[in-house]
A and B are shown apart, each in its own frame.
Chain A
Amino acid sequence: MSELEFRQAIRDALDEEIERDTAVVFFGEDVAAAGGVFMTTPGLQEKHGSDRVFDTPISELAMAGAAFGAAVTGLRPVIEIMFGDFMGLAMDSLVNQSAKFWYVSNEQASVPLVVRSAVGAGGRFGAMHSQIHGTWFQGIPGLKIVGPSNPADAKGLLKSAIRDDNPVIFLEHKRLYSMKGPPPTEETVRLGKAAVAREGSDITIVSALRGVRDSLEAAEQLADDGIDAEVIDIRSLRPLDHETVLESVAKTNRVLMLEEAPRVGGWAGNLLGILTAEGLHDLDDAWIVATQDTPAPYSPTLEDAWLAGGREVASAVRERLGVAAPS
C-alpha cells in the first residue's frame, strides 16, 4: 500500500467529511481558491462548491464567532486559523462562547466546531508564526485539544474531531506536513486517548506533534546504548490521558516529557503534576525537556538551539541515567 503524506491526510479527512455530512462547512483565509498556505486544502471548493468551502476576510474574531453561531444553529463548521499564533484574536469567541455553551445552556445544544491551525517552530517563521497555542486553551473546560504526530492519526483524528459534537482545537505541526507514513487502518481515531508509539521498558518519553518524531529518533539512538525507551504520543492535551502514561511509568519507573514550549505553563508540567499525585510510588525519576524561556527566534542557529531535537533528548536521557555517550 502506498504511503500517505500528512498534508494529504488532512485534505482527505476534510474531503470525506464534507462529502459525508451536508452540515459540514469549511472556511478560512486563503483555504478555498488558493488551497491553503500550506497546500492542505486544494480543490475542495471546486469539488464541494462555494456554499460549503469558502474564503473569508482576515478577521479571526469574526471567523471564530461566526463558526460558533453557525454551530449552535445546525451547521458543523471547520475553520482554519492559518497560524496558531493568530488564535489570540479568536480567543474571546472560543473561550467565552464555544467552550461554555454546552454547560451554561444547561445542555440545550453543543457546539460541533473544529479549529485547525498550523503550529510549531523550526520553520524559520519567527516569533509570531511559530507558537503552539494548545496550552493557551488547556485550562478551559469545554474545549478539546488534539494534534497528530503522523499521517494516519492526522486523518483519523481530524475525522473524529469533525464528527465530535464539541468544539475541538486541532493542531497541525508545520514540520509534519511533508511527512509520509502508512495510511490509517481505522476510519477514525478516538479523541482524548494517548498512543504508545514505541514500546520499551527502561524509560517513558512522552511528547506531542513533531516532538513524537524526535522522541522516536532519540529512542533509536538510545537503543544502541542498551536503553529501551517507550515513546507515548499524548495526542490530546484536553482531555489529558494521564492513565496511559501511568500504565507506562508503572513498567519503566522513569518519565521524560518533551515539550516544544517553555516549561512553565506547559502541558508537560500539568502531566507531571498528575503523575506525581497519582503515580509517585512508581516513579524513580521524572523531568521535562522544554524550550528556552524566550520567544522562538528566527536565525537558524538560534532556533535550532531553542528547540530540542532527537539528539538532545537522547543525550538528556543518557546524562540522567549516567550512561556514557557512544564514542
Chain B
Amino acid sequence: MAETQTERARERREKPGESPAEYLERYGRMRLIRRFEQEIHRLFLKGEVHGTTHLSAGQEAVPVGVCSALEPDDYVAGTYRGHGHALAKGTDPEALAAEMLGRVTGVCGGRAGSMNVVDLENGLVGCFGIVGGSIAAATGAALSAQRQGGVAVAFFGDGASNQGYFHECLNWAQVFALPVVYVCENNFYGEFTPMASVTAGGEIGIRAASFGMPSRVVDGNDLWAVREAAVEAVDRARGGDGPTLLECQTYRHYGHSKSDPAKYRPHDEVERWLARDPVDLARGRLLELGVGDDDLAAKEAEIDAQMNRAVEGALAAPYPDPHLNSGTEFKE
C-alpha cells in the first residue's frame, strides 16, 4: 500500500508539468499576484489608483493553477477582480500596474483601468466589469479556439452563476461541445451578500449536471488540486469532448471593492480562511516536496524585486496626453 502510494507520487512528479521546480515557478506567480495586490492596495490609499479596484488576494491558487494547464495561445476571460487572471496568463506586471495608475504605458494605455484589462498578446480577451460577461467572452473565444485547436477559460465568481450569461452560455457550450472551461471562483460572497442566502441548490458545481456537463468542486486554495482539475478539464476540451465546470472554493482577503471593509463576514470565518492562505499552503507543500528554504527565499526575493521594479517603472511613466492619446471611435 505504502509502496503503491510512493510509486503514484513518483509517477505524478515525473509527469510533464509536475516537477517541484515547475511548482516553484507557480508559487512564484502566486506570490507575484499577492505582492501586486498589496502594492495596488497601498497605491490606492495614496491616491495613485483611482475610482475603485477589486483585489484578489487570497484567491491566487485558482488563476495560477488553471493557467498552468494552458498553452500561451489559449484564451482567458477574466472579471473585474482580474489582476490575478492577467498575471497568471502572462501579462507584464509593470504594464498592468501602469494601467491601474492610469499611465500611458499601461497594458491598455490607461483607457481600461482596473476592471476592464485586455491583453490579447497573452490570450487575455478581456476582464469584464459586468458580472458574468467573462462567461460569454470565453464561450465566443471557444468558437474560434475550436477551429484553432485551442481552449478558452472563463473565470467568474459565485455571483455570476445567478446571471443569464451563466445559464445561457453553459447550455450553448455543451450543445456545441465547445473547448471551454468554466472556472467559478466561489469566494462565498457576491459583493456584500453571502452566496448561500441568494443561491439555490447549495454547490454551484452541480448546476452543470442539468446541462449534462461534467463538473468538479475543488479546494481553490490548493494549487495542486486546482491544477489537477484544470489539466483534466483542459485535456477534455482540447480533445473535443466539450466543456467542464470547475467550482473552486476560495476566499478573498480584502472586501469586495475598495469601499468595502467587509464587516459582514464573521470573524471566525475570516480567521479560518486566513489560516488556509493559499500562498502559505503552497510554500509548505514545496518544503514537504524537498524544495529548500534557500530556493524558496531566492524565488521570493526575485519576485519581490520584480514587483518593486514594476511599481517604480509604472510610477515613473507619464499620464496619457489627451491631445495625442484620445483615440478613435472606430477602426478605420
Chain A bound to chain B:
yes
A109 and B120 contacting across the interface, CB-CB below 8 Å: yes
Q: Compute the total of residue contacts between A and B using a CB distance below 8 Å.
A: 145
- Asked whether B101 is an interface residue with its Cβ less than 8 Å from the other chain, the reply is no
Chain A minimum-CB-distance residue to B172: A62
Per the bound structure, the CA–CA distance linking A144 and B332 in Å amounts to 12
The B-contacting residues of A in range 62-112, CB under 8 angstroms, are 62, 64-75, 77, 89, 92-93, 96-97, 100-110
Indicate which residue in B75, B126, B139 contacts A66 across the interface (CB closer than 8 Å): B139
A75 touches B112 (CB 8 A): no
B126 neighbours in A (Cβ, 8 Å): 72, 97, 101, 105
Contact of B20 with A by CB under 8 A: no
A62's closest neighbor in chain B, by CB?
Answer: B168
Cα A92 to Cα B131 in complex, Å, equals 10
Asked, given contacts A97-B136, A102-B330, whether A65 binds B120 with beta carbons under 8 Å apart, the answer is no
Q: Compute how far the CA of A65 lies from the CA of B141 in the bound complex, rounded to whole angstroms.
A: 10
Known: A59-B168, A61-B165, A107-B331. Is A71-B109 also a contact (CB below 8 A)? no
Q: B327 to chain A: which residues have CB within 8 Å?
A: 103, 106-107
Q: A57-B175, A61-B165, A110-B331 are in contact. Are A66 and B130 (CB under 8 A)?
A: no
Please measure, in the bound complex, the distance between the C-alpha atom of A100 and the C-alpha atom of B108, giving whole angstroms: 12
B23 within 8 A of partner (CB): no
- Tell me, in angstroms, the Cα distance from A96 to B129 when the chains sit together: 8
Chain B residues in 8 Å Cβ range of A97: 126, 128, 133, 136-137
Residues on the B chain within 8 Å of A104, using CB: 108, 111-112, 116, 118
Q: Is the pair A61, B168 in contact by a Cβ cutoff of 8 Å? A: yes
A246–chain B nearest beta-carbon distance, Å: 21
B205 to chain A, nearest CB (A): 20
Question: Known interface pairs A57-B172, A72-B141, A109-B120. Does A165 touch B331 (Cβ–Cβ under 8 Å)?
Answer: yes
- Cβ of B204 within 8 Å of any chain A Cβ, yes or no, is no
Q: Which residues of B contact A77 (CB under 8 A)?
A: 140, 143
- Tell me, yes or no, whether A156 is within 8 Å of chain B by CB: no
Name the residue on B nearest A22 (C-beta): B147
With beta carbons under 8 angstroms apart, the residue of A51, A69, A103 that contacts B125 is A69
**Range for the number of chain B residues in contact with chain A:** 35 or more
Q: Are B142 and A69 in contact (CB under 8 A)?
A: yes
A73 and B331 within 8 A (CB): no
Is A292 in the interface zone, CB < 8 Å from B? no
**Count class of interface residues, chain A:** 35 or more
For the complex, give the distance between the alpha carbons of A74 and B144 in Å: 6
How far is B270's CA from A24's CA once the two chains are assembled, in angstroms?
50
* Cα of A222 to Cα of B141 in the assembled complex, Å: 54
Contacts of B135 in A (CB 8 A): 65
Q: C-beta contact mask, B305-332 vs A, less than 8 Å → 1, else 0?
A: 0000000000000000000000111110
Q: Is the CB–CB distance between B141 and A69 below 8 Å?
A: yes
| Chain B residue contacts of A51, Cβ below 8 A | 147
CB contacts under 8 Å to B, within A21-78, are 25, 51, 56-57, 59, 61-62, 64-75, 77
Closest chain-A Cβ to B112's Cβ sits at a distance in Å of 5
What 4 additional pairs, Cβ within 8 angstroms, besides A66-B136, A106-B106? A61-B165, A75-B147, A93-B136, A101-B126
Kindly list the 4 A-B residue pairs having the minimum CB-CB distance in the complex, ordered from nearest.
Answer: A69-B140, A65-B136, A62-B168, A73-B144
**Chain A residues proximal to chain B, CB less than 8 Å:** 25, 51, 56-57, 59, 61-62, 64-75, 77, 89, 92-93, 96-97, 100-110, 141-142, 144, 165-166
Provide 18 A-B residue pairs closer than 8 Å at the C-beta atoms, listed in order of the A residue. Answer: A62-B165, A65-B140, A69-B125, A69-B138, A69-B142, A72-B126, A72-B140, A73-B140, A73-B148, A75-B144, A77-B140, A97-B137, A102-B330, A103-B111, A104-B108, A105-B126, A106-B109, A107-B331
